[in-house]
């Protein structure tokens, strides 16, 4: 009897397809231009690192690359197809707790995307943790049109002794290595 009811319910419910999630570009996420630059310049399947997971970069890049996402907010861990690293923000410098992100040094990333921690002027901590990205050939800074992130871009490029290309909303440092 129960089996018959379940079979009937299954027949009714089966055709109901849930709408698939379609992330929108921009907002707090990366822009379409930025996404296009990444897919045109990084080989599919490459190891990609992002600081700051979200609704745009994480689902979209997670489909194409082997993505690692460093995220401070536990609420957003595991939302999409990425190797999430939960790294709460340090009370000292407002950047990700170093011991939580240490393990990324063992991976060979082709690209690092700096899009976190959230908020203008909150990303300078990367300058105190340069060894984490110093062997990554391409470093993309999102929101490079904001005054603080523009300064961060210039400081990062000086400290890495490398040139950058400014695309407006984002900029790319080609790391001299
Ligand atoms: C600048 S956003 C990162 C955006 C991400 N790189 C993207 O393109 O989607 C920074 C912060 O937004 C927060 N965030 C992540 N997922 C979210 C979600 N589903 N809804 C609201 N905020 C989210 C996270 O705390 C993240 O560190």
**Domain-located, residue 130:** yes
Q: Assess whether the C-beta atom of 69 lies below 6 angstroms from ligand 1.
A: no
Q: CB-based burial of residue 131 (10 Å sphere; 0-12 exposed, 13-18 middle, 19+ buried)?
A: exposed
State in Å: Cα 29 to ligand 1 middle: 7
Q: Is the CB of 62 under 6 A from ligand 1?
A: no
Question: 11 in a domain, yes or no?
Answer: no
Domain of residue 74, CATH code? 3.40.50.150
Output the six-digit token pair for 7. Answer: 């079979």
Residue 122 lies in a domain: yes
**Are 95 and 126 in contact, with CB atoms under 8 Å apart?**
yes
Give CA–CA dist 138/174, Å, rounded: 5
Residue 17 resides in a domain: no
Q: Does some domain include residue 9?
A: no
Listed in sequence order, the residues at least 6 apart from 127 whose beta carbon sits closer than 8 Å to its beta carbon are 152, 155, 156, 159
**73 within a domain of the structure (yes/no):** yes
pLDDT, tens digit, 9 for 90 and up, residues 24-65: 998 899 999 999 999 999 999 999 999 999 999 999 999 999
Tell me if 6 is assigned to some domain: no
82-106: pLDDT as tens digits:
999 999 999 999 999 999 999 999 8
The ligand 1 atom nearest the CA atom of 56: 9
The answer to whether the CB of 56 is under 6 A from ligand 1 is yes
129: closest CA among 92, 169, 80, 79? 92
18 inside domain: no
**Tens-place pLDDT, residues 141-153:** 999 999 999 999 9
Residue 113 burial (CB count, 10 A) = 24
**Protein residue with least CA distance to atom 23, ligand 1:** 54
Question: Domain total for the chain?
Answer: 1
Cβ-contact 91, 120 below 8 angstroms: no
175 in ligand 1 pocket by Cβ < 6 Å? no
Give the residue with greater pLDDT, 14 vs 135: 135
Domain that holds residue 51: 26-174
């Amino acid at each position: 009897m129960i089996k018959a009811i379940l079979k009937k319910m299954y027949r009714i419910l089966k055709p109901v397809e849930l709408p698939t999630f379609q992330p929108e570009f921009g907002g707090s996420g990366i822009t379409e231009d930025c996404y296009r630059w990444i897919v045109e310049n990084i080989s599919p399947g490459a190891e990609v690192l992002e600081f700051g997971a979200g609704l745009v970069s994480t689902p979209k890049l997670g489909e194409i690359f082997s993505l690692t996402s460093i995220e401070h907010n536990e609420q957003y861990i595991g939302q999409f197809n990425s190797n999430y690293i939960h790294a709460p923000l340090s009370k000292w410098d407002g950047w990700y707790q170093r011991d939580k992100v240490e393990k990324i040094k063992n991976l060979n990333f082709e690209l690092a995307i700096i899009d976190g921690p959230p908020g203008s002027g909150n990303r300078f901590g990367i300058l105190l943790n340069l060894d984490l990205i110093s062997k990554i050939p391409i470093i993309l800074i999102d929101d490079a049109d904001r005054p603080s992130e523009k300064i961060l871009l210039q400081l990062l490029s000086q400290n890495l002794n490398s040139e950058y290309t400014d695309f407006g909303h984002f900029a790319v440092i080609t790391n001299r290595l």
